Amino acid sequence: MDRLPPLNAIKTFEVAARTGSFTLAATELGVSSAAVSQQIRNLETWFDKQLFVRNGNRITLTDAGHAIYPQAARALGDIAAIGRRMLEGGLRTRLVVSVPFSLAELWLAPRLTVLLDTFPHMAIDVRVEDDPVDLARQGVDLRISYGDYHYPGLRMVRLVHDDVLPVCSPEFWHRHGNGADLADVHESMFIHTNWGPNYASHPTWADWFSASGGNRSPDPSHGRRVGLSSLAIASARLGLGIALGQRVMARADLEAGRLVALSPVSVRLGHPYCAFIPPAKADRADVVGLVELLAKTAPPT
């Protein structure tokens, strides 16, 4: 066997590079900052390369550090995955997919049923969580994220650049619309989606009215407000108002007639939805199959 670098030092290097701090690395590893520094010095001696530039309490990777980090992270992730699979009772393939809350039920779940037609005995673990996610530490095979900027260094595949359009149930429009123009609908009838403090690029009702040639700006305090895009769709389906719904989530309800689109005018989201894959997982048949399926079943952009 080829000579191996000190594995404890490799693990320490990966944590320090990922956290950007010897202090944070020490906290995660449960050791002192001095112990982290010593492990890094041992590794630098072994490679005969400087791996970090120290500037007070701040550290940055050198060119040599950047060169070895991806392989080190990938190798440690693979070792961790082996351990998890053995503890779970064997080396059965398990597809671990991480997805934002809004996409889980209305977009991902229906596509997983198609994937299971190809891989009927596959074990699937769907984790619903917000960004950022530590893919290597949590054993994630595929992360679906809003935006293409969260996970530099991982393989990225753009899936769909979604848009929003006004939708409601046919019964609601029959009762409250009565042929009216959206510009005349009472403000209490609008459903507003609050994406949370981490997002500022999502379109609002004011954006939609501007795109449709108007200048109305419905006040969210006078309407219905929800915290998820999928909940906006569900609320509209249940007749609670008119949602500015994402097309990929409303698609099945529109096709089934449970929702109607009140205008052909739509507004694009600020960023696309993307799949992020750790390099070590990029060639797995189940991962490739799911990414191809998600990209294929997305509406044209």
Q: Is the pLDDT of residue 3 over 80?
A: no
* pLDDT of 91 over the 60 cut: no
- Comparing 173 with 89, the larger pLDDT belongs to 173
Domain 94-160+271-297 and domain 163-268 have a common topology: yes
pLDDT at 85: 61
d(C-alpha 26, C-alpha 15), whole Å: 9
- Residue 30 in contact with residue 16, Cβ under 8 Å? no
Cβ-proximal residues to 136 (8 Å cutoff; 6+ apart), any chain: 73, 74, 76, 77, 80, 278
**What confidence tier does 14 reach under pLDDT thresholds 50, 70, 90?**
very high
Spatial distance between the Cα atoms of 84 and 198, rounded to a whole number of angstroms: 32
Please tell me the predicted confidence (pLDDT) of residue 78. Answer: 76
φ, ψ of residue 186 to 5 degrees: the values are: -65, 145
Q: Chain-wide mean pLDDT for the chain? A: 87
pLDDT at 86 over 80: no
Query: Which of residues 94 and 248 earns the better pLDDT score?
Result: 248
Beta-carbon contacts of residue 292 (< 8 Å; ≥ 6 apart): none
Domain 7-87 CATH assignment equals 1.10.10.10: yes
Report the sign of the C-alpha dihedral through residues 211, 148, 261, 232, in that order.
negative
Rounded CA-CA distance 294/283 in Å is: 16
pLDDT at residue 32, as a whole number: 92
Residue 90 is predicted with a pLDDT of 47
Using pLDDT thresholds of 50, 70 and 90, give the confidence band for residue 196.
Answer: low
Band of residue 112 on the pLDDT scale cut at 50, 70, 90: confident
Q: Residue 1: is its pLDDT beyond 80? A: no
Indicate whether 67 pLDDT > 70.
yes
Residue-level pLDDT at 88: 54
Mean pLDDT for 77-82 is: 74
List pLDDT tens digits, range 163-184: 999 999 999 999 887 667 898 8
Q: Is the pLDDT of residue 135 over 50?
A: yes
- Above pLDDT 70, what percent of the chain? 91
What does the domain layout of the chain look like in residue ranges?
A: 7-87, 94-160+271-297, 163-268
b/e for 207-234, b at 16 or more Cβ within 10 A?
A: ebbebbeeebebebeebbebebbbbbbb
* Neighbouring residues of 159: CB distance < 8 A, sequence distance ≥ 6: 144, 272, 273, 274, 275, 291, 294, 295, 298
pTM of the model: 0.66
pLDDT tens-digit readout, 114-132: 888 877 777 889 999 988 8
Q: Is 179 left (phi over 0), alpha (psi -120 to 50) or beta?
A: left
- Average pLDDT over every residue of 126-155: 90
Is a pLDDT exceeding 80 seen at residue 51?
yes
Q: Which fold has domain 163-268?
A: D-Maltodextrin-Binding Protein; domain 2 (3.40.190)
Q: Tell me the pLDDT band of 113, cut-offs 50, 70 and 90.
A: confident
**Residue pLDDT, tens place only, 233-264:** 999 999 999 999 999 999 999 999 999 999 99
Averaged pLDDT for residues 64-88: 78
Q: How far is 219 from 226, CA to CA, in rounded Å?
A: 14
Compare 166 and 286 and report the one with higher pLDDT.
Answer: 166
CATH topology for the 94-160+271-297 domain: D-Maltodextrin-Binding Protein; domain 2 (3.40.190)
**Where do we find the tokens 């080396």?**
91
- Of the candidates 108, 78, 89, the one whose C-alpha atom is nearest the C-alpha of residue 248 is 108
Closest CA to 168 of 189, 148, 186: 189
- pLDDT above 60 for 299: no
pLDDT band at 79 (very low <50, low <70, confident <90, very high): confident
